[in-house]
Structures are given as C-alpha cells and as structure tokens.
Amino acid sequence: MARRQYPFHLIEPRWQQFWLAGETFRAFNPGEAVPPLHPFARRHGTPDKTGQTDLLPPKYYILDMFPYPSGAGLHVGHPEGYTATDILARYRRAKGFNVLHPIGWDAFGLPAEQYAIRTGQHPRITTAGNVANFRRQIRSLGFSYDWSREVDTTDPGYFRWTQWIFLQLYNSWFNPASNRAESIATLVFPPDCTTESQRRALRDSKRLAFVSEAPVWWCEALGTVLANEEVVDGLSEVGKHPVVRKPMRQWMLRITTFADRLLADLDTIEWSDSLKEMQRNWIGRSEGAEVDFQLAAHPARLRVFTTRPDTLFGATYMVVAPEHRLVDEITAPARRAAVDAYRAEVAKKSDRERTDATGKKTGVFTGAFAINPVNGEQIPVWIADYVLATYGTGAIMAVPAHDQRDLAFARQFELPVRPVVQPPDPTADPIGFCDAGTAINSAGAGIALDGLPTPDAKQKITAWLESNGLGQKTVNFKLRDWLFSRQRYWGEPFPILWRTDADGTPYHEALPESSLPLLPPALEEFKPTSDGQPPLARATDWVREIPGATRELNTMPQWAGSCWYYLRYLDARNDSRFVDRAAESYWMGTAGAAATPGVDLYVGGTEHAVLHLLYARFWHKVLFDLGHVSTPEPFFKLVNQGLILGADGQKMSKSTGNVVNPDEILAEYGADAFRLYEMFMGPLSETKPWNTQGVEGVYRFLGRVWRLFVDEASETEFEQRLAAEPGRGADFLGQIQLAANVVETEPSAAQLKALHACIRKVTDDLEHLRFNTAISAMMMFVNEALPWERKPASILKGFLQLLAPFAPHLAEELWERLHAHVGQTPPSLSYADWPRHDPALLVEDTLELPVQVNGKLRDVIHVPAAATAADIEAAALAAEKAQPFIAGKTIRKVIVVPRRLVNIVVG
RNA sequence: GCCGGCGUGGCGAAAUGGCAGACGCGCUAGACUCAAAAUCUUGUUCCCGCAAGGGAGUGGGGGUUCAAGUCCCUCCGCCGGCACCA
C-alpha cells in the first residue's frame, strides 16, 4: 500500500453524504416546486408552479445504459461510461443547463431465476441484494445521479407500465396506408367479415403483438425459448447451452412493419457510422423483384425473389429451400428417394452446420423443370440448403455467371453458366462478375435488354414483368418479427387471458388497464413443470383466478423493461401515467428552450448495438404514432464506450483471473483517482488495457493538486494525529490549513495565461468528449502553478471549477476551504457558472517559428507577433542554423505560413 | 468472404496537412534520509558521435504536396459486426 497522497478516505464519504442529503443533483420537472435553498434555485430562480417550461433553463438529458445488477457486482468497464457521462452532466450543470442524469436497474433476468431454481431463494431477494450492492458501488464513485428517479424494472410500480405498453402494442395495428401504428379500432372490416369470430381473427392477424405457432429456438438447459438473436452459433448467448428448433405457440411483436422507418430515421440521429451500419445490416433492406416461373408439367408457379432481375436471361437452373412447401408436389417419382434423403439429412443438421460449410455446396435435383418467362427455356429445379426458407420466397433463380454462390453450386454439379452482364472493363471475364455492367445475351421474344446498363436493364425488365403479370418490384428485409415470450418466472407476466369460444376455439383477450399491475404469482418452485409448461403453470389458483378464463403462462423477455426505461426516468414516480405529457415534451426536447429531439447523449457498450437499440427504437415509434411521446426517435446522440481489457490485454473474465474489482482500487486510491484514470487511459471509444500503475499516475496528480493548496506543516500534524487515533480522522480533517501563500491578490499575466489556456483546452475537450487530453491540460496547469510564490485565490478557484467534473470530491473540499481561507461563503460548486477564457489574455507578444529547409527542421526563430510575412521571411533566411543548408544553393521559394512555420525551398 | 474501425517510443497515448512523441507510466541519474518509502530535480524514439551535430523514423510499398502520422492507391496485421439474406 502506497503512502496516502491526501485524505480522500475522509473527503469522499463526506461529500457523497452532502450531495445525497441536500439532493444536490435532483432535476426538476416543469411545474415542480423548487426548494428556495436548493442550489438550482439559487442559480436559476424558482420557476413558478404553473408548469411553464420556458421558465426552466434548457434541458440536457444524459443517459447511461441500463445496468443489469449481477451478483458479481460492478466491473471496471461499467464506470468508464458512467464516469464520462457524469463529467458531462456536471459540466452541463455548470453551463446552466437543467440536467437530467438518472440511473436504475434492469433487474429481471435469468441468473436470479436460476439461482432460485438451485437454492429456492426467491429471485426478489437475490435481486434486492444485488441492487443494493450495485447502488453502494455506484454511490461510492460520486456520480451525480438524481436518486429520486431511480427505477427498478421488477418494481410493480414500474412493470405496471411495461404491461401497459404491451397493451398499447396489443391494441394497435400497422396501417400501411398511413405508414404508422394506429388503434386496432381503425381497422376496417371487409364486407364479408361479419361474424364476431371472423372479426376477431382479422384483428388478431393484424395486432402489433400477436400469437404465432412458429418454430422457435428451445433451450432445454435454460427451460425457455430464445429469440433468433439470442442464439449464437447454435448455442444460447447466455450460458452457451445447446438449442433446438421446436414449433411452439409464442407471442411475437411485429417489428418488421417498422423496418423502413427504422432504417430511414437512422439518418436523423447522431450515432457513429459503424453503429448505424450495424443496424442497417441487421434490418437488411434489399430491393429487387419477385418473378413467377411456370412449372413444366405442374399447374403451380414458382415465385422467386431476386435483386438482379436484369440477369433473368442468365438463369440456368432454380433452387428451392428444402423446406419449401412445393417440394413434395413437384418432385418427380424417380427423384423422390434422393430428395427425401437430402431433406432428412438437412433436417438433422444444426443451423451452424448448415452455414458452416462456406463454399462447399450440397443439393439434389427434384426432377421438375420450370419455364423461364423471358425465353421459354426449361430449366431444372433443385433443392439445396444454401437457399433459406425464411428469406424472400424461399426459392431463387440461379444465375451462376453473376452470383458467387450459384457459381459454386453450378461448378459442383456441372450446370450451365451463361454470362449476361459485360463488366465495364471489356477485357474482364464476365463469369463471376457480380457488379453493375452492361446487359448481353439478353434478348427474347417479347423483351430485349442488350446494351443497357444494369440499372436501366433492371427497370426495363421489372416494368415488362409487371405489365405481363409475371412479377413485380419487391423489397425484402432480413429483419424478422420479434419473438417476445419466454417460459420463465422472473419477468413481467402478460396481461392476457385465454378463453374458449362456442366452437371450442381458444382465443385471447387483454386485461383492462385498470387491473394493472398484474403481479407474478407466489411460487415455491421455479422450474418449468414436468410436462414442459412454464413455471407460472404451477400457480394453479392464479392461472384460474378469473372465472371462465386462464392466464397467459409466458412472461416477457428482459428487453421489455429496458425498452422504455429512459421514458420512465422523466417522471419516475407518476402512478397515473407512464410519463406525464409536459415532463415528456420538456425532457425530450419538443417544448421549452432545448432543441435536441430525444436523449441528448446516450453512452453505453457496443454489445447493445442491434438488439436493445433496435427494440427501443421500435417501441418508441409505436408510442410516437399513438401520441404518447413527442419524438420519433428516442436517442439523438449515442456514443459507444470502448472495452476495458485486463492488464494482459485479454478480455477481463473470471477464468483468466484478470478482473479488476473497482472496490479495491477505490480503497487504495479513492474515487477521484479512479474516475480520473478511467478517463485518462485514452479516448472513450477505444478498447484499452487496464494498468493499475496508471492509476498511481493520476493519483499523484491529485496529490499535487492537494499540495498546491494545503500547508504542509498542518498536514504533517494531521497525519501524526491520525496515526495515533485513526478513528478520529473526521475531527482532525478540519485542522488542515491552506498554505499561507494562497492569497487574495491580483494574478500576474503569466498566471492568468496559465489558467485561461487551461480553461480553453478543458472546455473545448469536454465539448468533444476528449477527457484524456483535458486531464493532461490540468496536469500542465498544476505543474506550472506549483512553484508560484504567491497563489492568487481567483486563479485557484477557476482551476477547481475545471477539476470539479472530473474529481468532484477533492474539488468540493478545496473549494470550501479556499473560500473559508479568504473569508468567503462558498457558492455551490456544482452550480457555479463555468469559467470562460479571455482570448486577449492568451495573445503572445513573440512567436516561435520553426524554419525548415526543403521540409526539414533546421532552426527556430523568434519574431514579434505583429511581424509581416516579409519580416518573417527575412528572419528565416538569416536563421543561423539554416545557413549551411542554404549556402551555395538557389532559393526557389519561401513559404511563410502565418503563426505556423517557414519553409525555404532550395534546389 | 462482406461491412466498419484501428496500426505512432519499453507501455497508455498526443498531434485544424505545418517543430512527431504533449500528458502520464516505466526506467535513469541526482537531492532529501541513518536507511527506505514518499516528495523534488535531470534525462529518456532509434542509430552514429566525447560533444557540437548528423542521419533515420508514425505496419510495408507507391502517389499528391513547398510540407503527409494526417489526403489518395495498394498490400500486410489486429479488433468489432454480419455471415449462403439471392
């Protein structure tokens, strides 16, 4: 244990208690009374209670990604993002914004339930313990959260509204005509839809939350289904257990209807290009055409999707997915055995095996032929597992000349390859060319494309197909509907009842909003039942509580609670609405002085790049369409923090034993040093390795800050007393005096310049999230200020304001002492106006200019700031150390870059 | 394979096209000390040189420019995402 640089162990708890007790960081909603003594009121006045949002300062909503309170506690990766947002929240508060900076717990989830299955301890108890630990750890870091807005997804006061939002989805449909979600009541029944059960069936087929009997990923080990995206390489994302496909009745959310808007609105928000690209890839929009091929010797048509209808003349065979519904019908008797064998083989393969064999293609001929509509040619129909049943129409026309996969398949099975696109380079081989070129070999009875560039050819053939009833322009998406039910206990129960109609057909109906929240039943045993029913089936009384009905046994996935938590923060204690309208429009930036539509800054890890961020955007758009929120997008600006690796450069994990526990770092160096190090390591978005020695570096810096202010003799005395009576540290702390050379005096020009250069750099860096270089600027200031014989209080105050967002405990302590030292009452540091630099103080009288000869540095000259280009040129040509490189050569050019350098070009 | 990002001292890193390596870690030498820790001071990209000084240098190669870590082309390596999506 290194010698303690300064008594952070006494200072930090003191200020944490002060902030908590005074609710220093409480954010005030429109219409809310602000206590007159609160520092927010002292700075901004107390807006009257009429709810005039324009009386509040502009809002700034700065959000951290919702943590899951795991049993392992906080990991040094969590506080990286939290520290960045906390620094910015404190900075924005000082800049005069009304800052909303909340935290809460995404506390439903599998680990607590699995623990319950093993030990019988109720997940509520496990969860409460984990939340308490997370809260303690987060508070120990001194973050400026508004604790009055803390939320917990497992709290009935919270999930009541999660269930309410589900009912909004359940009671809505997507109207393609208006391109938005609308109440299911606006659905118009066709004239032949007259009976109650017909109407119910139609509505149920349109709802945004619907029931589907779909093949889903079943994980035996977890006892639940998983969404497609929770299955990675044929294993569960959580715990890496095997999963199998199994048809089951499930709740789905119709996210696919929003695919176009989810894609288009990415252009309206400030996210990183890579993140937007990930979302675009996930949505996977692709434009093309559906084309019908008449089967020879069979009445049916085979519909395919292609993005290259212009290559129709190059189609030399067809492939349908082995699961395609027409396979049975079209297979020729002679090929039946081979087709059945292939299908059986494919069915056995896991998805991983099916996609693993990259390049190597398998498939069999069905014996059927299809007729190419453009030239009447009969081409063979194959089945192969490289065509997916779930994408497009589950069938393709194969154009081996211009598609890598088709080409590999054609070569494997010696199928013909016919080039129909000429690359722009006339000498290039058209075979295997997959980009845009010029159509060739593409003329038939009714249509010819030869000579047309690819885009024109696409357009022409599509128009021809449409006018002949053979196909049409189509857009396909990779995005699938969202599998929304889980067979678990520790999640939100669905507010849904099942009944049976007169014909014995089961149907579902929603519980009324007034009955929310629907609490999970009390259970002793959390396992699924022996006959494979979800754990909720064990609560037989609860399931049959409503006469004539049974409850839905599934629960919602963990994503549900995290899809809207950022809205609950706006008005976390409201029990009559999920969020008050005025609070929503103020904080989301559609009322009042702020301009940012949505969360101003959202910081979190890339692991949520697609799932959470796509789901939350989807829910937000539904709520927007239904008039419950005022912005089309939830998160205006989003920044991904980089991963923090272990000291060995490996990902931190229990198995490699390189995990750093923040509690230990805090005990030895304190929260301020920890915060500073997390930011000093490098740019926020980069992946970087942890190095505890680096913590010592910033810790020493904080020690130098301390010594910049305090009187050494009084501190030595403090240390001695503390050593004698360690328990009385808080009493002795007051005996530390500031140094006698800290005085109220006019600062010198050099002192002003040091401070103002620091203000400029720190402010600019904070605006651009460059925390590491801001810290280095503060280090330079302290290094310069330490030897000062007289330290003007005004300069030190300015510096403490800059330091405050980064190391708030030390800054508060010194701020208080500094004011007392010069006989003043300190204003709240958290709400003190952010200093502004005065450019006039930074003007240099003389400039140091490098002199280059042919681009190489040879000398440095000093010239008056006001020197003309001609003066500078003359001085440069006279520069002593440049002479040997100029002598005897012709000066071709002299480049004078004002305030930068001089380059003498000789030859 | 495709898409995105990144390659700079022993290490973390810095650098609106304009003095590469700020700031910090580590190391070096010194001051203080009985000694150590802590602190303070010095030096620290590499090569040649006692020094003055010179040369090379931002993954490799090429280009644009008076001037390139920065812009362009190409290759190599690492990280993240997607992965037969027609």
User: Which two tokens mark A14?
Assistant: 């003191």
A624 CA – B2 C1', rounded, Å: 35
Q: Which helix (H) or strand (E) holds A274?
A: helix A273-283
Distance between CA atoms of residues A354 and A906, nearest Å:
67
Q: What is the pLDDT at residue A647? A: 84
All CATH 3.90.740.10 domain ranges in chain A, comma separated: 286-476
CA–C1' nearest nucleotide, residue A393: B86
A817 CA – B35 C1', rounded, Å: 37
Runs of H (alpha helix) within A205-244: none
Distance between CA atoms of residues A905 and A907, nearest Å:
7
Distance between CA atoms of residues A131 and A74, nearest Å:
11
Q: What is the pLDDT at residue A884? A: 86
User: Residue closest to B19, CA→C1'?
Assistant: A850
Distance between CA atoms of residues A871 and A849, nearest Å:
12
A136-177: pLDDT as tens digits: 999 999 999 999 999 999 999 999 999 999 999 999 999 999
pLDDT at A2 over 70: no
User: Residue closest to B68, CA→C1'?
Assistant: A855
Q: What is the pLDDT at residue A719? A: 85
Average confidence score pLDDT of chain A: 91
Q: Calculate helix-pair angle for A692-709, A771-785, nearest 10 degrees.
A: 40
Q: What is the pLDDT at residue A369? A: 95
A372-391: pLDDT as tens digits: 999 999 999 999 999 988 89
Q: Is the CB of A700 under 7 A from strand B?
A: yes
CA–C1' nearest nucleotide, residue A394: B86
Percent of chain A with pLDDT over 90: 69
Q: Determine which of A128-132, A424-428, A735-739 has the lowest per-residue pLDDT on average.
A: A424-428
A901 CA – B62 C1', rounded, Å: 28
Q: Is the CB of A285 under 7 A from strand B?
A: no
Q: What is the pLDDT at residue A229? A: 66
- Chain A 754-783 residues whose Cβ is under 7 Å from strand B: 770, 772-773, 775-776, 779-780, 783
A754 CA – B50 C1', rounded, Å: 40
Q: Is the CB of A903 under 7 A from strand B?
A: yes
Residue A786: which of A709, A721, A726 has the closest Cα? A709
Sequence-distant (6+) residues with CB within 8 A of A756 are: A837, A838, A841, A842
CATH number listed for the domain at residues A844-906: 3.10.20.590
All CATH 1.10.730.10 domain ranges in chain A, comma separated: 708-840
pLDDT at A652 over 80: yes
Quick one: average pLDDT of A459-463?
95
Q: Is the CB of A244 under 7 A from strand B?
A: no
pLDDT at A411 over 60: yes
Q: Is the CB of A117 under 7 A from strand B?
A: no
Place of tokens 């989807």: A618
Q: What is the pLDDT at residue A358? A: 56
- Chain A 450-489 residues whose Cβ is under 7 Å from strand B: 476, 478
A866 CA – B51 C1', rounded, Å: 38
Give me the sheet containing A244-253, strands edge to edge.
Answer: A224-226, A209-219, A244-253, A482-483
pLDDT at A371 over 90: yes
Q: What is the pLDDT at residue A359? A: 61
Q: Determine which of A48-52, A218-222, A279-283, A634-638 has the lowest per-residue pLDDT on average.
A: A48-52
pLDDT at A51 over 60: no
- Asked if the A8-156+566-645 domain carries CATH number 3.40.50.2000, the reply is no
A700 CA – B43 C1', rounded, Å: 21
Distance between CA atoms of residues A717 and A733, nearest Å:
10
Q: What is the pLDDT at residue A594? A: 57
Distance between CA atoms of residues A318 and A330, nearest Å:
13
A88 CA – B73 C1', rounded, Å: 41
- DSSP type of residue A897: E
Q: What is the pLDDT at residue A428? A: 81
Those nucleotides of strand B lying less than 7 Å from any protein Cβ are 3-5, 11-16, 18-20, 22-26, 37-41, 53-56, 66-68, 79-86
Q: What is the pLDDT at residue A785? A: 95
CA–C1' nearest nucleotide, residue A355: B84
pLDDT at A1 over 60: no
pLDDT at A253 over 90: yes
CA–C1' nearest nucleotide, residue A768: B16
Q: Is the CB of A412 under 7 A from strand B?
A: no
Q: What is the pLDDT at residue A144? A: 98
A692 CA – B45 C1', rounded, Å: 25
A751 CA – B66 C1', rounded, Å: 39
Contact A317, A304 (CB under 8 A): no
A652 CA – B43 C1', rounded, Å: 36
Strands (E), A277-401: 286-296, 301-306, 317-320, 364-371, 378-383, 395-398
Q: Please tell me whether residue A102 adopts helix, strand or coil conformation.
A: coil
Q: Determine which of A34-48, A404-418, A513-527, A603-617 has the lowest per-residue pLDDT on average.
A: A34-48
Contact A742, A722 (CB under 8 A): no
Distance between CA atoms of residues A209 and A556, nearest Å:
12
- Chain A 799-838 residues whose Cβ is under 7 Å from strand B: none
Distance between CA atoms of residues A552 and A520, nearest Å:
11
Quick one: average pLDDT of A65-86?
92
All CATH 3.40.50.620 domain ranges in chain A, comma separated: 8-156+566-645
A764-791: pLDDT as tens digits: 999 999 999 999 999 999 999 999 999 9
Q: What is the pLDDT at residue A445? A: 76
A220 CA – B77 C1', rounded, Å: 41
Contact A183, A171 (CB under 8 A): yes
Q: What is the pLDDT at residue A825? A: 94
Q: Please tell me whether residue A639 adopts helix, strand or coil conformation.
A: strand
User: Residue closest to B14, CA→C1'?
Assistant: A773
Distance between CA atoms of residues A806 and A771, nearest Å:
9
CATH number listed for the domain at residues A286-476: 3.90.740.10
Q: Is the CB of A71 under 7 A from strand B?
A: no
Percent of chain A with pLDDT over 70: 97
Q: Left (φ > 0), alpha (ψ -120 to 50) or beta: where does A903 sit?
A: beta
A539 CA – B5 C1', rounded, Å: 51
ipTM, two decimals, is: 0.95
Quick one: average pLDDT of A805-825?
96
Q: Name the CATH superfamily housing domain A708-840.
A: Isoleucyl-tRNA Synthetase; Domain 1 (1.10.730.10)
pLDDT at A887 over 90: no
CA–C1' nearest nucleotide, residue A901: B18
All CATH 3.10.20.590 domain ranges in chain A, comma separated: 844-906
- Chain A 583-612 residues whose Cβ is under 7 Å from strand B: 606, 609-610
Quick one: average pLDDT of A875-879?
89
Sequence-distant (6+) residues with CB within 8 A of A433 are: A401, A402, A419, A421, A423
pLDDT band at A214 (very low <50, low <70, confident <90, very high): confident
User: Residue closest to B54, CA→C1'?
Assistant: A858
Residue A675: which of A24, A151, A8 has the closest Cα? A8
Q: Is the CB of A701 under 7 A from strand B?
A: yes
A358 CA – B84 C1', rounded, Å: 7
pLDDT at A215 over 80: no
For residues A425 and A90, the model is more confident at A90
Q: What is the pLDDT at residue A52? A: 59
pLDDT at A88 over 60: yes
What separation in angstroms does the CA of A565 have from each of A276, A383, A568? Answer: 22, 47, 5
Q: What is the pLDDT at residue A326? A: 92
- Chain A 834-873 residues whose Cβ is under 7 Å from strand B: 848, 850, 852, 854-858, 860
A706 CA – B60 C1', rounded, Å: 49
Residue type, A239: G
Q: Is the CB of A719 under 7 A from strand B?
A: no
- Chain A 136-155 residues whose Cβ is under 7 Å from strand B: none
pLDDT at A620 over 80: yes
Q: Calculate helix-pair angle for A662-669, A671-680, nearest 10 degrees.
A: 120
CA–C1' nearest nucleotide, residue A787: B40
A900 CA – B19 C1', rounded, Å: 9
